[in-house]
Chain A
Amino acid sequence: MEILIYGAVNSMIFMLLAAGFALVYGVSRIPNFAHGAVYVLVGFLTWSFLNDLKLPYILAILLALVVSALLGLIIYRFVLIRLRGMPTSEIIASFAVSLVILEGLRLQGIAGFKGFIGPFYSLPPFFDAKINVAGVFVDFQRLFILGFGSLILLAIYLFTHYSKAGLKLRAIAQDEQAAMMLGIHPDRTAMLSLAVGSALAGMAAVLVLPLGNLAVEQGYHVLIRALAVCIVGGLGSWAGTILASLVLGYTVIISSTLLGTVWESMVLVGTIILILLLKPSGLLGKQKELEERV
């Protein structure tokens, strides 16, 4: 029973982590390696707003989310926009941005910036208590993850299916050239996708970080998890991402319970290898022809 609940929570965490990356890739075919960096940055920003500026928690969170969306916009507008169409450069550039942010957070001594090193940082949970669900004690934060996470997913669905901007995103995702012919501006849409994707990373950060510590290393862990979900689920398929989150979320929880948490990476890599062997396009991946199309 414990596994059932914690597995569900873990799956939701995986889903939230992957959502931003999957959205950006699905719409603009750009692998946003800076995804994990934005996640961590939002975490630290919230912490700063909370502790240095002494803002109320809610305000800190909202402010950080706005900043994350802006960050996504900036990343696209100033870096990626110049590199559209050159996949090699896109990958390298987004990777470099990720490093600037992540390693930059570790800097010490530049203009008095002390750098975020050490295990002293954490974000407080929304409501510090546990509740008994079907015989298992679950802390509220985890329930919030499930609750807010589902809301976020619902919001994404509604946004992409019923709002004008969201429909534009889907159009570009399905067929960029046809969408362009209909007057949809690919660059603006890509900027939107990056803003939304980064905001999703921020939301994930705000929900998940209170569970543990806040450290720069998390940036890489988050990126790995998001990438694992996307590969297993299939790049470009939402259903696949959801399914993969469930698969990976539960597998990790089960293996952690049986073998210990230290094997999580092995489980992830094992699942990836398995998928690449059996169904390279991902569990529900749409692409049949995986090689570059001429």
Chain B
Amino acid sequence: MTGERILEVTNLWKSFGGVHAMSGVSFDLHKGEVVGIIGPNGAGKTTLVNLLTGFVKPDDGRITFMGERIDGLPPHKIALRGLARTFQVMRPFHTMAAYKNLIVPLNSPRVRKTRSGALGDLDSVAIDILEEIGFERDARVPYKTAGSLPLGYLKRLELARCLALQPVIVLCDEVFSGMSMSEIASMLPLLEKMQMNGITLMMVEHRLRELFKLAGRVMVINFGEKIADGPPAEVMEDPAVKKAYMGAEDRK
């Protein structure tokens, strides 16, 4: 299932005005994995996502993706290499129809390079992508204004935006947030399908039970430090992890 190492993070440091948001985090990512990133609120998970995708520049450390260093690159260059991300706060291009939202990534140089031959009409490509992720074409859902779609569809639209880039890694920043258990259950097959198509997933999540259905490996971040890294069952038994989530036990 897992293949060669595609992402290598070494000793990542970032402070915001005296607060250490990231303190020397290091890890690897292998092709085909599904890795979860969990931790208490404010622990630095979204900072990690921002660091990896170029929205924030690290103070120190290295990030190597597919053999090339990407730390310090602007976000669009990182996306062009195949590292896509979703955003925690959902903001689609709300005045446009849903499928027009995908025109943006489809216009990126990466897509123009990798889609050989007949690009065809970008519009129909966009609609096809949406159909694959569950936008019912018959009900004209792809044509609806993005701003009017309910949350479940918006989450899928975010994923579609990533998929349109034909990414190698998709970084999901709390995709499950705000959804009911049944909604999440209907999204899991989509994520599994992505994994089966060879996409590596890194998911920042709070909903642990649902995450553990997908993730083969889990990293715990607390106060900007990685305190655990391993299979879910192991990690949840780790006393350091328990302390982070539940607070310290009573002293004797």
Contacts and interface: CB of A to CB of B under 8 A. Distances in A.
Contacts, number: 3
A15 B156 CA distance: 53
User: Is the contact region of chain B dominated by helix, strand, or loop, or is it mixed?
Assistant: loop
Interface in B86-101: 89, 91
A103 B89 CA distance: 47
Nearest to B91: A294
Contacts of B89: 294
Interface residues of B, number: 3
A294 B50 CA distance: 13
A288 B17 CA distance: 12
A294 B57 CA distance: 17
A222 B89 CA distance: 43
Contacts of B91: 294
A286 to B, nearest CB: 10
Nearest to A294: B91
Nearest to B17: A286
Contacts of A288: 57
Contacts of B57: 288
A290 to B, nearest CB: 12
Interface string B139-166: 0000000000000000000000000000
A288 B57 CA distance: 10
Interface in B21-46: none
B19 to A, nearest CB: 15
Interface in B168-222: none
Interface in B74-120: 89, 91
Nearest to A286: B17
A294 B93 CA distance: 13
A288 B59 CA distance: 12
Interface string A258-294: 0000000000000000000000000000001000001
A128 to B, nearest CB: 51
User: 3 shortest A-B CB distances, which residue pairs?
Assistant: A294-B91, A288-B57, A294-B89
3 contacts: A288-B57, A294-B89, A294-B91
